[in-house]
């Protein structure tokens, strides 16, 4: 049964389905995997930015003066979760080169077993921007929840999370943790295995992007 929630958008464009099939294959080499992640992030970002605020302004064409539209305000901040999220950044920047980029590093607290930021660098005006949190995988949802919570604490109102593959349990957890966040994903998989990897998934996205597969 399809995952039904108005705050989850499944980007199932035919090109996305085609590229996801190649991305999932274990034989796909690092260089191609990295390129596909960038391309998928680019396509997904088109959907995730569809509601950006615009303003009208006057331009001169070769024929006459007319009105056009442009993005209003400070535009976007892209916030990748280290390290795999870095693989999606350029795909969004290809579409919105004026976007600012923040970085969040997450690690597990050995006492609480919850993810905590170990590194944070976001634009100084992040509270006035729409934020796209990017990370290829949404498994348990812990890192995404922590990232969204941190950005809320920094005053960000409009937060979207872009992933390539999501597990239903991760979607449930993130939607429950924040009642405003919108999630974009290229696939919603069956679930998690006993070590919290998404099934069928695509393996460790960070290792596959950066070529550190054992």
Q: Is residue 108 annotated as part of the catalytic site, yes or no?
A: yes
Of the candidates 108, 125, 157, 212, the residue annotated as catalytic is 108
Residue located via tokens 């006057």:
58
Q: What is the spatial distance between Cα 19 and Cα 34, in angstroms, rounded to a whole number?
A: 12
Q: Give the helix/strand (H/E) hosting 8.
A: strand 8-10
Q: What is the DSSP letter of 97?
A: T
The dihedral over CA atoms of 197, 158, 15, 33, expressed in degrees to the nearest 10, equals -40
Paired tokens of 65: 């003066």
CB atoms within 10 A of CB 47: 17
Q: What is the spatial distance between Cα 205 and Cα 214, in angstroms, rounded to a whole number?
A: 13
Gap between the terminal Cα atoms of the chain = 36
Q: Is residue 189 annotated as part of the catalytic site, yes or no?
A: no
Paired tokens of 124: 């100084």
Q: What is the spatial distance between Cα 62 and Cα 126, in angstroms, rounded to a whole number?
A: 38
Of the candidates 7, 34, 35, 204, the residue annotated as catalytic is 204
Q: Is residue 207 annotated as part of the catalytic site, yes or no?
A: yes
Q: Is residue 157 annotated as part of the catalytic site, yes or no?
A: no
Of the candidates 61, 112, 179, 194, the residue annotated as catalytic is 112
> Read out DSSP for 20-81?
HHHHH-TT--HHHHHHHHHHHHHHHHHHHTTT--EEEEEEE-SS-EEEEEEE-TT-EEEEEB
Enzyme catalytic residues: 108, 112, 204, 207
């Amino acid at each position: 049964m399809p995952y039904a929630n108005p705050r989850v958008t499944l980007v199932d464009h035919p090109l996305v389905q085609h590229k996801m099939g190649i991305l999932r294959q274990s034989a796909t080499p690092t260089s191609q995997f990295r390129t596909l992640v960038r391309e998928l992030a680019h396509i997904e970002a088109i959907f995730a930015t569809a509601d950006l605020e615009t303003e009208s302004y006057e331009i001169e064409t070769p024929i006459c003066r007319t009105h056009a539209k442009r993005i209003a305000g400070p535009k976007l901040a892209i916030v990748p979760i280290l390290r795999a999220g870095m693989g999606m950044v350029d795909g969004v920047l290809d579409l919105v080169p004026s976007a600012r980029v923040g970085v969040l590093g997450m690690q597990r607290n050995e006492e609480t077993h919850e993810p905590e930021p170990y590194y944070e660098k976001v634009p100084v005006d992040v509270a006035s921007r729409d934020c796209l949190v990017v990370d290829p995988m949404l498994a348990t949802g812990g890192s995404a929840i922590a990232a969204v919570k941190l950005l809320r604490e920094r005053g960000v109102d409009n937060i979207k999370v872009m992933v390539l593959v999501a597990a239903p349990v991760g979607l449930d957890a993130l939607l429950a943790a924040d009642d405003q966040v919108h999630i974009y994903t290229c696939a919603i998989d069956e679930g998690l295995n006993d070590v919290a990897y998404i099934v069928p998934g695509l393996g460790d996205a960070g290792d596959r992007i950066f070529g550190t597969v054992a």
